[in-house]
Amino acid sequence: MRKRIVIDLDAPQGGPAARARVGKRGRWRRILALFMGVVLVVILAAIVGGFFGWRYYQSTPAYTLTLMIDAAQRNDLAEFQKRIDDDEIAKNMLASVSQKAAGRYGFALTSSIQQRIDTVMPNLLPGLKQTIQDEVVKEIKEFASKSEPRPFIFLVVTVPSLVKVTKDGDTAKATAALKDRMIELTMRRDADRWKVIDFKDDVVVQRVVDSVMKDLPPIGSIDANSPLLKKSARGKRRR
């Protein structure tokens, strides 16, 4: 009877040393597969986290300011207009403009002139909105022009460090340095974005006052019956 020799080709060839080498290679493959799995999970987590982080940033006041600066750099007034509520800005600035306008008269301010200012200001509101919008655009352009026009992604990174934003519920205040003064914007949540509803800058207020003074009585038109003038005249006679 013939004897057959059967060779198991799947079995590790050689002695114990060869089998040990095969075992090590198997362990390294498992370790490498595990490592690649961990790396893949980390990458996926970073992508998902980055997506939700970006979506959150798009809902912040800083992102709206970035859009405004980018629109100002590109002279895209239509896009810029989406980010401001010129009705609210005009209403909120009207009191400051009225006060500054009255201050221009100094001691020449009379009750009749004050009444004239109080009457004229609401009528000037439609034109004042356009003036204020032009001034706000000019200020944002001036802030944006502190450096050369930058790509949008650069603005996304740098604007939060240039503008201080404090948020309180659905309102926020943003302050930024402009040459030798500070400007302040008040913002209100508007769906998933924000809109500027108030703009504080004495330089802008003075320019707006300049534009409305032509509709007010001339500063030199002093009422002859002014108590201040009568008091001054009595003082001179006593001397």
Give the least confident one: 10-14, 95-99, 102-106, 232-236.
232-236
H helical segments located in 106-221: 111-123, 125-144, 152-162, 202-212
The three-class DSSP label of residue 60 is: coil
Q: Interior CA angle at 199 toward 140 and 57, to 5°?
A: 65
Average pLDDT rounded to a whole number, residues 60-67:
91
Say whether pLDDT at 13 is over 70.
no
Which 3-state string (H, E, C) describes 157-188?
Answer: HHHHHHEEEEEECCEEEEEEEECCEEEEEEEE
Instruction: Tell me the pLDDT tens digit for each residue of 69-114.
Output: 888 888 888 888 888 888 888 888 888 888 888 888 887 788 888 8
> Is residue 188 very low, low, confident or very high in pLDDT (cuts 50, 70, 90)?
very high
> Is residue 132 very low, low, confident or very high in pLDDT (cuts 50, 70, 90)?
confident
**Gap between the Cα atoms of 237 and 85, Å rounded:** 56
Average pLDDT rounded to a whole number, residues 188-202:
87
**Gap between the Cα atoms of 49 and 202, Å rounded:** 42
Instruction: Tell me the pLDDT tens digit for each residue of 199-231.
Output: 888 888 888 788 778 777 777 654 545 443 344
**Gap between the Cα atoms of 95 and 117, Å rounded:** 11
Q: How many helices (H) and strands (E) does the chain have?
A: 9, 4
> What average pLDDT does the structure give for the chain?
77
The structure tokens listed for 159 are: 């604007």
Q: Which residue has the higher pLDDT, 99 or 139?
A: 99
- Global pTM value: 0.65
